[in-house]
Structure 1
Amino acid sequence: MATPASGANANPNTWLTLNGKPLSFQEDAENLEAGAMEYRRNEIIITAYAPRPIEIYIDQVQLHTHDYGYWQWRPRSYAGLYEVRVTAPGYPDAMTNVRVIPQYFTQTLYQRMQDDLSAIAADLLFSLVSSISERVKSVRRLQETSALQDYRHVRAIVQKLGDILSEIRRDPYYVLSKTTEQRDWHEVWQFNADSQSIGGDAIHVPRRSTGKARSLTLPTRWQVAHSTVSYDVYENRLLKQFLQKQLVAKLNSIQERAESEIKQRSVTLAYMQRNHFQNAEDERREITALKGAIEQCQSMKVRCRQWGSERFLHSVQSNVLGGKATQVLLKHPTYSRFYKLYLEFQQQLQISLNAQDYLTELSVRKIPELYEMWSVFALTRMAIDELLRNGYEQVSQGLFYEVEKNNFRFEVRKNAASIVLAKEEKRIKIMYEPVYPNRNVTRAEGLVTTNGRNLPQTPDMSIELYERNKPQAVCIFDAKYKRVRETDGYYYPLTEDMDKMTNYVTRIKYQQHDSAARDYRTRNIVSSAYVLYPGNRVYEEGDGEVGGIPLRPNMPSQLQEAARKKLHDILYEANMI
Structure 2
Amino acid sequence: MKLLFELQSDRVHLKFSQSVYKEPAILPNKDAIGRLVLTQHRTNLVWHKVWRQGLPPQIENCPKQHEGPCLFEETNYKLYARCNSGFRLDIEHPDPVIISDLDHDDQHSTVYGYINFGSQVGYSEFTVLVDGKPEFSFQVEVFPSKLDYASDYEEILASVQDIMTGLAMEYLRSTYQTGTTFTVSQSTDLEWFILLRGLIDELEKALNYIARKPLRGLKREQIPVRAEKIKHINGRVLAAVRRGAGRGGFTRTKNNIPVREYIYEDRPQSTLDTVEHRWLSRQLYLIQQRLNQLRLEERQLYDTPRRRKALQELGDMGKRILRLQGLEPLAAAASGEIPQGFVSLQLLRLPGYREAYKYCLALSLGLRIEGGPLQLSVKDLSLLYEYWCYLALLRLISEETGQQIPVKELFAVQQNGLRVLLNRGQEQRVCFPSKGGGHITATYNPSFRGEAMLIPQRPDMVITLENKGWPAMHLVLDAKYRLDASPDYIDRYKSAGPPEDALNSMHRYRDAILEFQSRSDESPVQRRTVVQAAAVFPGGITNVPFCKSRLWKALRQIGVGALPFLPANKEYVREWLRSRLKMGGFSIAEHTLPHSIYERARDWHSSAAEPVVVGTLSAGNQRQHLQWIIDKQLYYMPMLKTQLRQYATKWVAIYSPQEIRSPGAVTHYAQVKSIEIVQRKEILTPWPPKRNLEEPQVLFILGEVFERKIPIINTSGYRFTQHRWTSRLGLERAYNLEQLLLETEPEWRLFEDLTALGVKFTLDPSEPVRLLDKDNPYGRVWFRLDDGSSIRYAGASGYVIRRIPGGRPQYFVDYQELMGEIVMTSLG
Task: Give the TM-score normalised by the residue count of structure 1.
Answer: 0.50
Kindly indicate which of the two structures has a greater share of residues assigned to helix: 1
Task: Give the TM-score normalised by the residue count of structure 2.
Answer: 0.36
